[in-house]
Structure 1
């Protein structure tokens, strides 16, 4: 048993849990962390990066179970807040599911690289900076107040997150704020919206790539990553909700721009970042 491999899986799980719900691109950070540590083979690492996201999304389900259950049952019972949230999540999920099924493999083959991540980080950072400097009037203070029209627009914006470095959380949170959602509502809707997308992508990628994982050790490495990402994501969710109640996202804008420029510099010059 390769103990170093398991240690790397733990680190990757922590990176996933911390970055999944921050507007800084979890996929981009996982790609870079994988290259930094020379984590596993490229094929197994690609599967790992997608599948362990289900650990982070399990933390959302655990933390918000009652509200999610209300959204699911509200569609059937007709309870207003639950129905609006449930149908809104369905409408917002359709665009990325269709685009992911159509272009998902192409994105993995072509765009999973340092330069794409760097550009995505920089552009996303500039957008966050602009939105924070030009705040919109809030018309949806709570996630249950989001209209179907807003949900559809957020779903369309979420499609951009297929590009590594863009950040699914960043696209949906900032997109929501541009449409008049409060930071709290945009953040929580982003949490919920990740459930069908991440679970679907994780199960699909895991099934399609099952031949890549061979033997008990490979599946144990995946399991370790999922468990660690769950624990770290659960902590991050609670911290982030408290953070957005009092502060803006400017720190993440500057972080994205600075890290993107550093990665781009090294990628274009051929210097070794590590």
Structure 2
């Protein structure tokens, strides 16, 4: 992977991590286009640059994350992230097996888009307007919904936002809680990928891949910086769009993008 490829993948991550369109799918399609999707460092890079996106949420909502008097906020996130930690560990190998094949991911992208077209009509009477009103039970069930995103192409953001709306949250409240929940979820995934996971092709741990040469470390740092800046812009943009238009624009986008990618990887680049 060269610098330009790293920059493009980082931009894709920053743009899509908090949108209901699946950042994993978009990064896999991007790396597959470049023909580098099976490289172990690329697989690590796609996960590790989520750290930059995590920092974007922490910076934008710093009052929430650093108000240590509100212990309930941290406990809700802890409860909500438990399902993903448990199931993520159990199904890590199966998830890894799907990541190299863009065809099923494109299909999931399309199906998820169809679902988003009907989400707004399904949940029309929200009762929870802020994080303070979310109970531990609601947080846990939102965490269960988030686990649907373990299938690449589903979108962690979409799954957790729909889960929030199913639990009675407004669109804006569900989106914000999805942002908050992303921090411990992605921090856990990033930490596991760097320090604990052994990559199949090289037999190396993530930190060994990062420190294998100076170029890898440089790409890692630049990728996180780019993902951080782009994610800040994407979050502000998304909140405005979802408040005004709901989920239909993202549903149409997923269907169009998924169909185009399915045709591309079926007919043009089999």
Answer yes or no: is 1:56 the counterpart of 2:44: no
Specify the alignment match of 1:91 in structure 2: 79
Quote the offset at 1:179 in angstroms: 2.1
- Give the whole-Å Cα distance in 2 for the aligned partners of 1:204 and 1:258: 33
Matched, 1:233 2:221: no
1:133-152 equivalent positions in 2, closer than 5 A: 133-152=121-140
Alignment pair present for 1:118 and 2:106? yes
Match of 2:203?
Answer: none
**How far is 1:69 from its partner?**
2.0
CA deviation digits over 1:165-186, x for unaligned, max 9?
0000010112212221111101
How high is the TM-score relative to the length of structure 2?
Answer: 0.90
TM-score w.r.t. the length of structure 1 is: 0.89
1:39 deviates by 4.1
Matches within 5 A, 1:59-70: 59-70=56-67
What do residues 91-120 of structure 1 show as CA deviations (whole Å, max 9, x unaligned)? Answer: 110000111112123311234421221122
The aligned runs of 1:1-274 (5 Å cut-off) are 5-39=2-36, 42-70=39-67, 72-75=68-71, 83=72, 85-207=73-195, 208=197, 209-213=206-210, 214-267=212-265, 270-273=266-269
**Structure 2 CA distance for partners of 1:258 and 1:221, relative to 1, 3 Å:** same
Q: CA 1:159 to 1:112, structure 2 compared with 1: closer, same or farther past 3 Å? A: farther
CA distance in 2, matches of 1:266, 1:236: 26
Query: Structure 1 residues 203, 112: closer, same or farther in 2, change over 3 A?
Result: same
- The separation in 2 between residues aligned to 1:133 and 1:173, in whole angstroms, is 15
Asked if the contact 2:128–2:173 (Cα under 8 Å) also holds between the matched residues in 1, the reply is yes
Q: Which runs of no fewer than 5 residues in structure 2 stay unpaired?
A: 198-205
SS at match of 2:192: helix
Question: Offset at 1:265?
Answer: 3.6
What CA deviation, in whole Å up to 9, does each residue of 1:205-262 have, x standing for no partner? 0123233341111111111111100000011112222222322110100111222223
2-side partners of 1:112 and 1:41: how far apart? 6
Query: Residues 38, 110 of structure 1: CA spacing in aligned structure 2 closer, same or farther, 3 A cutoff?
Result: closer
Contact 1:8-1:39 within 8 A present in 2 as well: no
- Deviation track 1:44-87 (CA, whole Å, cap 9, x = no partner) reads 111011000110111001111111223x5322xxxxxxx1x322
The answer to whether the 8 A contact 2:209-2:216 is kept is no
Aligned-pair Cα RMSD in Å = 1.8
Cα displacement string for residues 24-60 of structure 1 (whole angstroms, at most 9, x for unaligned residues): 0000000001111234762111101100011011100
**Unaligned runs of at least 5 residues, structure 1:** 76-82
Structure 1 segments (4+ residues) deviating >6 Å: none
